[in-house]
């Protein structure tokens, strides 16, 4: 039966649906530490179509069918709270953040004006100011974004307006060039494309074995581009690279940028959380001298996706960059103009992502974040030592953060077979629903990259991971043809 949901209020059917949904949510959370449950069951589109009906109909379905759909969704989604989930930079979110996510959806406001979202506006400003202070920004501002990719785009946009203040009106009149390390995130290439500067003008700077940007290479690249008549306008450094977890030397990079009048943006989407602990804060040394940076609380801080910030070390930069004509007169009014977050964002309609972070920060405090980061670092050290203790495994490099790069080397195996087995170990573990870790390349050779960013991961998880890869690797090595 079709009804007007907005006039019926909470009908009996709605109540059954919501109560059933929240019961399932609680059951899901209670079982999240169960190591025996496969963390993934679907490995192809065909698998999914075999177990779920994704079609819609003219007449709709009843609430029991919807609850069955929810059951199927929960059963067949990858279980990111699983103790063996170490694939991306995030895991299971804390209950306080889920409460914030639910309330954000329930109130359904948007972050463009104080008028429509008064509480959310002040919470977002509180979070932005707090995170800016952790970075040493004395007069900073910022906004929540859709993710680090959007933050890197905004960093380039601010850099463009800094060097080419008329570019937003007339476009580029000279050829701009920006510099990134060879280990930078792929989103910077997308940002360069979106900005219209041309990806050929995104200059890769060499990195050392640890994954850090080479200062000598940066100096040389800047000089080469200036000699070619191009205008260097931005350096994008990385704090926490995707594969190696490396932190670029920000003090030295900042000094070069200051000398050359180049905007320094830092992609700290992953590594920004290092600011939260005295034991890791040194990794971000020099961030206070950057012009802007992005930081994703939906990564190591565990917020539900998405929860990401872009911060600038100067007031009114974002208002200038995001300014436009009076075409939004129906939305942005003079009253409360200094509070309207829509004047500082590339987005208009925007979710209230600060609430979940604020509730969690209120819940655990600064000390809670510090303890979380330190626990992850201790687990990283534990896993690294376990790898070193196994003669058939290689720790490819000493971790600087919580990225651990591992390769199966076996006994007297050629690099070809080491690579083949390393690759197949990851596939087998995932297809059996036992572990989910990233496969990546270092020096053109595959490695396994478990990352510690999931609060359910513990030493037992890591012991099981080591046992799994050594057993699978030994079996595969024994099945190789004789030399």
Interval 325-358: pLDDT, tens: 555 544 554 556 676 666 777 777 889 999 999 9
pLDDT single digits (tens) 202-246: 999 999 999 999 999 999 999 999 999 999 999 999 999 999 999
Q: What share of the chain has pLDDT > 70, as a percent? A: 94
CATH class of 110-351: alpha beta
What is the pLDDT at residue 88?
86
Q: How far is CA 282 from CA 153, 250, 369, 469, in A?
A: 26, 11, 16, 33
pLDDT average, residue stretch 382-396 = 99
What is the pLDDT at residue 330?
43
pLDDT single digits (tens) 173-193: 889 999 999 999 989 999 999
pLDDT average, residue stretch 356-380 = 98
Say which DSSP state 272 is in: G
Mean pLDDT of the residues in the chain:
93
3-state secondary structure (DSSP) of residue 200: helix
The topology (CATH level 3) of 364-478 is 3.90.1150
pLDDT average, residue stretch 355-380 = 98
Angle at the Cα of 473 from the Cα atoms of 470 and 475, rounded to 5 degrees: 110
Query: pLDDT band for position 18 (50/70/90)?
Result: very high
Both structure tokens of 5: 């949901």
Q: Indicate if 364-478 has the same CATH topology as 110-351.
A: no
The answer on pLDDT for 56 being more than 90 is yes
Q: What share of the chain has pLDDT > 90, as a percent? A: 81
Both structure tokens of 220: 């040389």
Q: How far is CA 250 from CA 235, 236, 289, 456, in A?
A: 11, 10, 8, 32
Read off the pTM: 0.93
The answer on pLDDT for 477 being more than 90 is yes
What is the pLDDT at residue 325?
53
Place of tokens 């197949």: 424
The answer on pLDDT for 4 being more than 80 is no
pLDDT average, residue stretch 245-265 = 98
Q: Is the dihedral of CA 99, 102, 108, 110 positive or negative?
A: positive
pLDDT average, residue stretch 451-465 = 97
| Contact call for residues 283 and 401 (beta carbons, < 8 A) | yes
- Residue 357's CB is within 10 A of a number of other CB atoms, namely 27
What is the pLDDT at residue 1?
41
Question: What is the spatial distance between Cα 19 and Cα 200, in angstroms, rounded to a whole number?
Answer: 54
Domain map (residue ranges) of the chain: 5-30+41-77, 110-351, 364-478
pLDDT single digits (tens) 130-155: 999 999 999 999 999 989 999 999 99
What is the pLDDT at residue 324?
64
pLDDT average, residue stretch 6-23 = 88
What is the pLDDT at residue 336?
60
What is the pLDDT at residue 81?
94
pLDDT average, residue stretch 316-325 = 76
pLDDT average, residue stretch 88-97 = 91
What is the pLDDT at residue 258?
98
What is the pLDDT at residue 340?
64
């Amino acid at each position: 039966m079709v009804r007007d949901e907005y006039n019926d209020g909470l009908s009996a059917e709605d109540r059954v649906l919501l109560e059933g949904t929240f019961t399932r949510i609680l059951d899901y959370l209670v079982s999240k530490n169960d190591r025996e449950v496969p963390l993934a069951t679907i490995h192809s589109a065909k698998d999914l179509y075999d177990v779920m009906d994704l079609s819609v109909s003219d007449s709709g379905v009843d609430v029991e069918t919807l609850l069955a759909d929810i059951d199927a969704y929960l059963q067949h989604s990858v279980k990111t709270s699983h103790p063996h989930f170490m694939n991306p930079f995030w895991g299971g979110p804390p209950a306080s953040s889920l409460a914030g996510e639910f309330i954000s959806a329930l109130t359904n406001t948007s972050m463009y004006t104080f008028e429509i979202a008064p509480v959310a506006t002040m919470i977002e400003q509180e979070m932005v100011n707090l995170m800016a202070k952790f970075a040493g920004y004395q007069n900073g501002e910022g906004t929540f974004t859709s993710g680090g990719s959007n933050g890197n785009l905004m960093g380039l946009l601010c850099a463009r307006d800094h060097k080419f203040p008329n570019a937003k009106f007339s476009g580029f009149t000279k050829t701009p060039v920006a510099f990134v390390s060879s280990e930078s995130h792929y989103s910077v290439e997308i940002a360069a494309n979106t900005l219209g500067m041309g990806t050929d003008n995104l200059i890769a700077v060499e990195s050392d074995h640890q994954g850090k940007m080479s200062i000598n290479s940066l100096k040389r690249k800047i000089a080469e581009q200036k000699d070619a008549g191009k205008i260097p306008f931005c350096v994008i450094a990385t704090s926490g690279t995707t594969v190696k977890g490396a932190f670029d030397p920000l003090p030295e990079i900042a000094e070069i940028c200051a000398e050359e009048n180049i905007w320094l943006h830092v992609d700290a989407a992953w590594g920004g959380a290092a600011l939260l602990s005295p034991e890791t804060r040194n990794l971000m040394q020099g961030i206070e001298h950057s012009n802007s940076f992005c930081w994703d609380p939906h990564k190591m801080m565990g917020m539900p996706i998405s929860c990401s910030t872009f911060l600038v070390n100067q007031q009114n930069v974002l208002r200038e960059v995001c300014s436009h004509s009076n075409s939004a007169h129906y939305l942005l009014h003079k009253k409360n103009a200094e509070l309207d977050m829509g004047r500082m964002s590339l987005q208009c309609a925007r979710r209230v992502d600060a609430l979940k972070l604020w509730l969690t920060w209120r819940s655990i405090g600064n000390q809670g974040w510090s303890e979380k980061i330190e626990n992850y670092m201790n687990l990283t050290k534990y896993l690294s030592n376990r790898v070193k203790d196994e003669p058939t495994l290689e720790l490819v490099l000493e971790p600087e953060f919580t990225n651990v790069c591992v390769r199966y080397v076996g006994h007297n195996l050629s690099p070809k077979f080491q690579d083949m087995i390393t690759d197949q170990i990851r596939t087998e573990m995932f297809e059996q629903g036992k572990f989910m870790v990233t496969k990546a390349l270092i020096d053109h050779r595959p490695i396994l990259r478990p990352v510690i960013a999931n609060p359910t991961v513990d030493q037992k998880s890591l012991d099981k991971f080591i046992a799994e890869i050594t057993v699978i690797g030994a079996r595969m090595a024994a099945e190789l043809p004789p030399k």
